[in-house]
Amino acid sequence: MGNTSLISTKNIPPAERLIFALDVDNEQKAKELVTKLDDTVSFYKLGLEFFMSGSYYSLLDWLLEKNKKIFVDLKFFDVPQTVASAVKQLKNKGVTFATVHGNDSILQAAVAEKGDSLKILAVTVLTSLDRGDLDDLGFQCDVKQLVLSRAKRAFQLGCDGVISSGLEAKDLRNNLADNFLIVTPGIRPVDNKVVDDQKRTVDVEEAFTNGADYIVIGRPIREAQDPYLAAKNIQERISKIFD
C-alpha cells in the first residue's frame, strides 16, 4: 500500500470513514437506497439536490432515528450574519458536519455559532475544478498552493477541518495539525475512466495513505448494479487499512 505514515490515527470507527453521498431527488428514493445499503453505510451526506426536494429535515430526522450520522453539505456562502444564522439553526439538529464556503469573515461567523457537537468543514477547491478552471476564474497559482492556503486560514479561524481532494491531502496533513479533519470527495474506487464532473480524483487507498480522515463516495455506489455489495467492498478495503 506504499507509505503509511500519513494514515489517520484519530479515534474514528473504520465503518464511519465512508460517507455516502445521498444525491437523489426525492425522499422515497433516498429511503429505498438507505434501506438497501443497510449496515454497510452509517454516515450520509445530504447535499443541494436533495435539499431542493423539500424533504430535507424529514429525511435527516429519519436517518438520525436509524442511528446514522449526517453530513449537511450545503456549502453555506452568504454575508457572515446570514451564514451565522444558518449554522445557529443547524447546530442542535444532531448533525455531525456542515460545509461552509467563503472568506475569513464567513468562516469566522460559522465557527462562532457551531456549538460543541457540530463540526465546520471549510471548502477549499471543488474537486470538479482543474487548473484550466482556476485560470478561467482568475486564480494565477497552483491548485495545491491554493488549497493549502485556504486550509491554513480555515484552521487558524477555528474550523474543524476541510473538504479537499485526495491529491492535496498529503500536503495538508504535512502542514496542519493532526487533529484537523480532512474529508475527501471525488473518490473513484478504480481509475476514473467514466466521463463525469470529478476531475481531481483518487482511489480509496490513495486517499487514506495521503492523510484523509473520511472519504465521500456517491455514484460508484449509487449507480452500481448492487449498491450494497459496492459499499461492502469499499468497507472491506477501508477495514484492511485501519483494522
Grid cell listed for 34: 438507505
Which entry of 75, 93, 119, 152 is annotated as an active-site residue? 75
Q: What does the H/E/C string look like for 15-75? A: HHHEEEECCCCCHHHHHHHHHHHHHHCCEEEECHHHHCCCCHHHHHHHHHHCCCEEEEEEE
Classify residue 203 by burial, with Cβ atoms within 10 Å: 0-12, 13-18, 19+.
middle
Task: Tell me how far apart the 2 most distant CA atoms of the chain are, in Å.
Answer: 47
Nearest to 148 by CA among 170, 129, 133, 131: 170
Phi first, then psi, for residue 186 (nearest 5°) are 70, 30
Active-site residue, 88 included: no
- Measure Cα distances from 187 to 58, 112, 184 in Å: 28, 31, 7
**Any alpha helices (H) in the chain, and if so which ranges?**
27-37, 48-51, 56-65, 80-90, 104-113, 131-137, 143-156, 166-175, 204-209, 219-222, 227-242
Mind telling me the catalytic residues?
Answer: 75
